Chains A and B, each alone.
Chain A
Amino acid sequence: MVNRSQAPAIKDAVDFEILLKPYEKFNLDNGIPVYAIRSEEQETLQLELIFPAGSWFETENLIASATNFLMKNGTSKHSALEINEMAEYYGAYLNRACFHENATYTLHCLTKHTADLLPVLQEVILDPVFPEEELSTFVQNMKQKLAVNLTKCDFVANRHIDKFLFGEFHPYGRVSNMLAYDALQTESLKAFYKKHYTYNNCKIFIAGNLPANIIPLLNQYFGSTKWNGEELIVRPELPVLPAEEKKYRIFNDENGVQGAVRIARPFPNRYHPDFGKMLVLNTIFGGYFGSRLMSNIREEKGYTYGIHSQIYNFRQVSGINIQTEAGRDVCEATVTEVYKEMERLKNEEIPEEELSLVRNFMIGSILGDLDGAFHVIQRWKNLILNDLDENYFYNNIRIIKTITAAELQQLAQQYYNKEDFYELIVI
C-alpha cells in the first residue's frame, strides 16, 4: 500500500533553469525591425504590428482607441464588410488593441494562408479612410455599451480608482464618457492615424510556424516604401495629479447586493529596484490562489468569490491595486481585513515555508508561461517595448529565487502603510 500521507519528492524551483529562447531579428528594407520566434511544431502563426499610438499620445479623449478601432472599417478599395470577409474567409483573426502607450494590429492565422492575408493587413495599416458612417455607428454602439457598463459596480470602481491615483487628465486616469464619444470627428482620427501609424514608428513581432519566405513577404507589403512619412513621435511629459482625498464610498445602485472594493496606491515603475522585489511580496499578499488575502477573506471568511492584488505594468508610474467584489454587508469588514493583512506582513517575517512555496509557484508559473512561441514572443515584446533586455528577465528570476524574508518585511514596512492607500467601495 502506498503511503498517502507522505508527499512525493519534488524538484525545487531554485533548481529549475529557465531559459528565454532568443529571438531572431531582421530589418525590412525600409528599416522596420522584425523580431521572430520560430516553432515548427505548430501550423499557426501570429503577426503583430505595434505603433506608439496609445492614449498617452492623444490630444483629445478617445482619439487613440477610436483610430485604432476604425482603421479596419474601410479602406480606399474595400468596405469594412469586404475587409472582414477577406480575413475571415481564411479563418484568420485580425484583431486590434489600444493601450496606454501602444496600439497594435494582430493577425492570427494558419501558416498556409499567410500570403493571402498579408495584403489585407497591409490595406488596413496603410490605407484606412475612416468613413463617416463607420464612426457614427461606432459612437452609437460604444455609448450604448458604456451605458450598460456604468450600471456595474466593478466597472465604475475601476474608473474611479485610476482617476484617484493618476488624475482624470492623465492618460492612466482618463476614462471614456458620452460627451467624448460625441466629440469624435473623422478629421481628427485621420490626423492621429497619419502621425502615429508610420513606417519609422512600426515594430513587428512574429511567432509560430513561419513560412520560408516570410521576410520577402513582409518586405513586399511593409518594407518597400516609407509609408505615411517619417514622423518623429516625442513622448510628452505628463505629470500625474493624484487626488487629495483618500477615502470614498459611492452608491451606484441602491439595490446592489455586492460592493466593489478597491484599495490602491501609486508605486514606482518597473525601472525602480524595488519593482521586481515587490512582485514577490505582491504574490504573497494577493497574487495567487494561496495568497494571504485569498486565504483569509475568501477561504476563511467567505466574504467574496475572489480577491486579488496587482501591480500595474504602466510605463511612467505604476500602482498597487487590491480589488474584490464582496457581499454588500461585508465590504467594510473586507477593507479592515485587507489592512490587517498588511500589518501582519509589516510586523511578522514571512515563514520560510511560505516563502519557499511562493518561489516555487512563481518559477513554475514562469516556466509554464514560456511554453510555446506565442508566449515567448510576448515576453520579448514586453522587454523590447520597454527598452529592456533579457538581463531584466533573468534578474527578476534571481530575485524570486533569492529574496529574503527580512527584505520582504522591509518592503512591506515601506509600501503597505494604510495612510498611503486610496480606499473605495462602490455599491
Chain B
Amino acid sequence: MIHFNRFTLENGLRVIVHEDNTTPMAVVNVLYDVGARDENPQQTGFAHLFEHLMFGGSVNIPEYDEPLQMAGGENNAFTTNDLTNYYIELPAENLETAFWLESDRMLSLAFSEKSLEVQRKVVTEEFKEHYINKPYGDVGHKLRALSYTSHPYRWQTIGKELSHIENAQLEDVKNFFFRHYRPINAILVVAGKVTTEQVKALAEKWFGDIPSGEKYVRSLPVEPPQKASNFLEVKAKVPLDALYKAYHIYPRNDQRYYAADLISDILSGGGSSRLHQVLVKEKKLFSNIDCYHFGSIDAGLLCIEGKLVKGVKMKDAEKGIQEELEKLQQNIIPERELQKVKNRVESMLAFEDMGLLSRANNLAFYELLGDAAFMNKEFENYERVTKEDIHREAQIIFNEKNSNTIHYYAGN
C-alpha cells in the first residue's frame, strides 16, 4: 500500500506527496502529458528531441545540471509514445534545489539556438546507435508501420526518419513548449524524506506563479479495427532469420488489458513459459523467443519475436508459434498456471515498489491514467482475471485477421 497526499495549485498543477521517512533521499518527478503520439506526422521524434532541450538551460538558470550536481543530485528523463517524464533524486536536505530547477524550466526554457543545434546531432547519433547501427534495429519501426494505419503509434518515439529531427526549428520548439509544458498539463510527485506541509509551501513558492496554460485536449486519429492480416518480408544483412508477429490489444484503462498482459506472461514470462519451453527447449525451432506488449495508454500491440535456429524454415517456425497460440484458444489453461502468472505479477509489483524513484514514477503515471490511487488497486485488477477471460481473449487477440507478421531474412 503506497500512501500519498494530493492537492492542486491554482494554476492547475497537480501535486502528489509520498512521505517515506526510511530514506535520506527525496525524489522530484515531473510528468508532462505529451508523448510521441501527439506529434505531427511530418515532425516525428519531436517530443523526444524536446526532452533533450529541457536540459539546455531555462529562462533564469543557464545550466540545469551543474547546480543539481552541486546539491548532490542526479537526474534523468524519458519519453514514451504517451508521456514525457523528468526526475531528480537528491539528498532530502537539498530538496528546494529541485523545486527551483524544475519550476524554472516549466516557467520557460532559454530556447538557445546552440542547444538545438547540438541536441539535433546528439539525437541523430542516438538514432544511429540504437536503430540503424544495430542488427534488426529497424524492426520496431517496421512493425508499428505495418500494424497501425491511423493512430500515431505507427511511429517510434525516436521518430520515423532522421530528417524529421534534422529539420526541427527553434520556432517549433517554442510552440511545442507553450502548448504542452504548462502546469495544467503536468503532474508533480515529490517522494521520500519530505512532509506534505513542506511540499505544499515549496510548490506554492516555486510553481504557484507559473501561468496555467491551456489544457491540451487530445484528439488523435482512431485506429480502425484491423480487418485483414498484414505481412511484410524483409531481407537484411543479419546473421539469423527472425520472425515477428504483432496483435492489437486494449487500452491501458480497459479491464481486458490485464488478461492480455497475463497472456504475454503465460507465453514468455520466465523459463517455464510456454513459448520458451516448447519452441526453444523441446522443438528447437528458435534460439530465443519473447512475447511482450507495449503497455501503452491507447490500444497497444502484443508482440512475439524470435530468432530461428539455423536451418529451420520460416514456415515451420511460424507453425510452431501458431500451434502454441491455438492451444490457448482451444483449451482452458490449468488453474495452477494462471496462479503462477498472477504470483509473478504480485512479486514484480512488490519489487517495483521497493525503489523510491519507481514509486514516484508510478504515482505520476497512474495519476495521468486518472487517479494515483489506481496504483494500489493494480493487483486486484490482475486477480480478477479468470481462466475463461484468458481463453476468450486468446481467441480474439490471436485471430488471424488481427495479426501483423514480418519475416526477417538473413541475406547479404
Question: Do A and B make up one complex?
Answer: yes
Q: Please give the residue numbers on chain A whose beta carbons come within 8 Å of chain B beta carbons, in ascending order.
A: 1-2, 4-5, 7-11, 13, 16, 41-44, 80-81, 84-85, 88-93, 108-110, 137, 140-141, 144-145, 147-148, 150-153, 253, 255-258, 288-290, 298-305, 325-327, 356-358, 360-361, 363-365, 367-368, 371-372, 374
Known: A4-B100, A256-B133, A371-B24. A357 touches B69 (CB 8 A): yes
B135 lies within 8 A of A148 (CB): yes
Contacts of A368 in B (CB 8 A): 25, 74, 89, 91
Q: Which residues of A contact B269 (CB under 8 A)?
A: 88
Establish whether residues A151 and B97, one from each chain, have CB atoms under 8 Å apart when the complex forms.
no
Q: Are B347 and A90 in contact (CB under 8 A)?
A: yes
What distance in Å separates the Cβ of A254 from its nearest Cβ neighbour in chain B? 10
Complex: how many Å from CA A9 to CA B129?
A: 40
CB nearest neighbor in B for A365: B74
Beyond contacts A148-B238, A360-B71: 16 other A-B pairs, Cβ-Cβ < 8 A, are A2-B205, A5-B60, A5-B61, A8-B99, A10-B70, A43-B350, A89-B340, A91-B347, A137-B284, A141-B309, A144-B307, A144-B309, A148-B240, A258-B133, A303-B121, A325-B129
B53 lies within 8 A of chain A by Cβ: no
B interface residue numbers (CB < 8 A to A):
22-25, 59-61, 65-67, 69-74, 89-91, 93-94, 96-97, 99-100, 103-104, 107, 117-126, 128-129, 132-136, 205-206, 209, 237-240, 269-272, 277, 280-281, 284, 287-288, 307, 309-310, 336, 339-340, 343-348, 350-351, 354-356
- Nearest A residue to B307 by beta-carbon distance? A144
Docked Cα-Cα span, A267 to B124, in Å, equals 34
Query: Bound state CA distance, A148 and B354, in angstroms?
Result: 35
Contact with A152, one of B126, B134, B345, B348 (Cβ below 8 angstroms): B134
Pair A298/B72 contact, Cβ less than 8 Å: no
Q: A4-B100, A91-B346, A367-B25 are in contact. Are A361 and B69 (CB under 8 A)?
A: yes
Q: Please, how many angstroms separate the alpha-carbon atoms of A151 and B236 in the complex?
A: 12
Q: How far is the CA of A183 from the CA of B126 in the complex (A)?
A: 39
Q: Closest CB of chain A to B86's CB: distance in Å?
A: 14
Given contacts A81-B277, A300-B118, A302-B118, contact A364 B344 (CB under 8 A): no
Do residues A151 and B126 form an inter-chain contact, with CB atoms below 8 A?
A: no
B74 lies within 8 A of A327 (CB): no
What separation, in Å, do the CA atoms of A179 and B190 have in the docked complex?
54
Do A290 and B65 touch (CB < 8 A)? yes
Q: Whole-angstrom distance between the alpha carbons of A91 and B90 in the complex?
A: 32
Residue of B24, B122, B238, B307 near A304 (CB, 8 A) is B122
Instruction: From B104, B129, B336, B340, give the contact of A305 (CB < 8 A).
Output: B129
Interface centre among B125, B134, B277 (most CB of A within 10 A): B125
A302 to B56, CA, bound (A): 13
Question: Bound complex: CA of A255 vs CA of B309, how far in Å?
Answer: 26
Q: How far is the CA of A1 from the CA of B22 in the complex (A)?
A: 34
8 nearest CB pairs, A to B: A364-B72, A302-B121, A91-B347, A84-B271, A84-B272, A91-B343, A8-B96, A4-B60
Q: Which of B69, B91, B277 lies at the interface centre, i.e. has the most chain A CB atoms within 10 A of its CB?
A: B69
- In the assembled complex, the CB of B346 is this many whole angstroms from the nearest CB of chain A, namely 6
Q: Assess whether A255 is in contact with B237, with CB atoms less than 8 Å apart.
A: yes
* B94 and A145 contact, CB distance less than 8 A: no
- Name 11 A/B residue pairs within 8 A (Cβ), A-sorted: A42-B354, A81-B272, A81-B281, A110-B347, A148-B307, A255-B237, A299-B122, A302-B117, A305-B123, A357-B66, A360-B69
User: What's the minimum C-beta distance from A3 to chain B, rounded to whole angstroms?
Assistant: 9
- Beta-carbon nearest neighbor of A256 in chain B: B133
Question: In the complex, A84→B61 CA distance in Å?
Answer: 53
Measured CB to CB, the nearest residue on chain B to A16 is B91
Contact B65–A8 (Cβ < 8 Å)? no
Measured in the bound complex, the distance between the Cα atoms of B209 and A81 in whole Å is 60
Contact A10–B128 (Cβ < 8 Å): no
Main secondary structure of the interface of B (DSSP, over half): helix
CB-nearest residue of chain B to A304: B125
Given A5-B60, A302-B119, A361-B72, answer yes or no on A141-B24 (Cβ-Cβ < 8 Å): no
Complex CA–CA separation, A257 to B126 (angstroms):
11
Q: How far is the CA of A337 from the CA of B134 in the complex (A)?
A: 26
B240 engages A11 (CB within 8 Å): no
Q: In the complex, what distance in Å separates the CA atom of A186 from the CA atom of B287?
A: 20
User: Would A44 and B350 be within 8 Å (CB), given that A140-B284, A148-B239 are in contact?
Assistant: yes
Minimal Cβ-Cβ distance residue in A for B310: A144
Are the C-beta atoms of B343 and A303 separated by less than 8 Å?
A: no
Given A367-B24, A367-B72; A302-B122 close (CB under 8 Å):
yes
Q: Provide the residues of chain A in CB contact with B288, threshold 8 Å.
A: 141, 144-145
Task: Please give the distance in Å from B268's CB to the nearest CB on chain A.
Answer: 12
Contacts of A11 in B (CB 8 A): 91, 93-94
Chain A residues near B123: list those with CB within 8 A: 305
Q: For the complex, give the distance between the alpha carbons of A110 and B262 in Å.
A: 19
User: A301 CA to B125 CA in the complex, in Å?
Assistant: 12
- In angstroms, Cα B346 to Cα A110, docked, is 9
Residue of A nearest to B346 (CB): A91
A139 to chain B, nearest CB (A): 11
- Let me know if B280 and A137 touch, CB within 8 A: yes
The answer on a CB contact under 8 Å between A327 and B125 is yes
Q: Give the distance in Å from the alpha carbon of A84 to the alpha carbon of B340 in the complex.
A: 11
Chain A residues within 8 Å of B310, by CB: 144
Interface centre among B107, B239, B355 (most CB of A within 10 A): B239
A8 in complex: contacting residue of B100, B209, B270, CB < 8 Å? B100
Docked pose: A257 CA to B25 CA in angstroms: 41
Q: How far is the CA of A253 from the CA of B236 in the complex (A)?
A: 13
B238 touches A2 (CB 8 A): no
Cα–Cα distance between A325 and B132 once the two chains are bound (Å): 13
Residues of A within 8 A of B287 (CB): 140-141, 144-145
In the bound assembly, the distance between CA atoms of A152 and B271 in angstroms comes to 27
